[in-house]
Amino acid sequence: MILNRSYRSERLLHVLRHASILFLAITAALTAFATTASAHAVTPGDAGYIQEIFGVHVISFIYLGAKHMITGYDHILFLLGVVFFLYHMKDVAIYVSIFAVGHSVTMMLGVWYGWGINAYIIDAIIGLSVIYKALDNLGVYQKWFGVQPNTKAATLIFGLFHGTGLASKILEYKIAEDGLLANLLAFNVGVEVGQLLALFVILIVMGYWRRSPNFMRQATVANIIMAFLGGLLTYQQVAGYIAST
């Protein structure tokens, strides 16, 4: 019985280690084949729905917010980078809350007051946020420059940019003013629900992955891949901006 349990545990650990690698591979594929300026894009069906409805639609906007977060590979990559080396739930809660506050503030205010940034530019900055966090996890700033940036401040600042990216895209679809505040609040709730779902999966995979004796070596490779994906996203947006001008 004990041997069987041990075997099952080893098998589960093996599967989850490969799942983490598969997760990065799938994210890489999505990033590579994503069209420019699509990191915060709303699907045509959802865009049409947003443009046509009037009044308060709480459930619908919660769903749209959760869907955006779960399918937003840029958000997921940054979130993965943030929690990659956080081993205590208290620290995870603090950093995720900081990111959520930044994301929520600029998304809400950006749509409410009608200000945004060119989609190419903001998505390029979000790509840089992924690069920043991957390099931070690799200890590059300490090794190369002898300094360690304030990780909480960086998480808040990039959270503000992530929210601005979403607000900029939503503004293109001109949500009706009737019920706007309630719908925005519902959308933001959905975003946080989606973030918690994504975080739940990430923490389960990371928890088992960290038990591997090869975790630190694999973690280095994983963060190099993350930096590459962030660079690819940034390149796509810069190229798109140049082509559009």
Nearest CA-CA partner of 170 in 120, 110, 244:
110
Residue of 124 and 69 predicted with greater confidence? 124
User: Taking the domains of the chain in order of start, what are their residue ranges?
Assistant: 13-31+38-244
| Phi-psi category of residue 117: left, alpha or beta, with phi > 0 → left and psi -120 to 50 → alpha | beta
d(CA 151, CA 24): 23
pTM: 0.79
Q: Write out pLDDT tens, residues 200-241.
A: 999 999 999 999 899 999 999 999 999 999 999 999 999 999
| Cβ proximity of 138 and 220 under 8 Å | yes
Determine which of 143-152, 176-185, 197-206 has the lowest per-residue pLDDT on average: 176-185
d(CA 234, CA 18): 27
Q: Write out pLDDT tens, residues 66-111.
A: 888 888 888 899 999 999 999 999 999 999 999 999 999 999 999 8
Residue of 26 and 205 predicted with greater confidence? 205
CA angle 158, 160, 161 (to 5 degrees): 65
Is residue 89 within a helix (H) or strand (E), and if so which, with residue range? helix 89-113
Highest mean pLDDT (candidates 26-30, 46-50, 88-92): 88-92
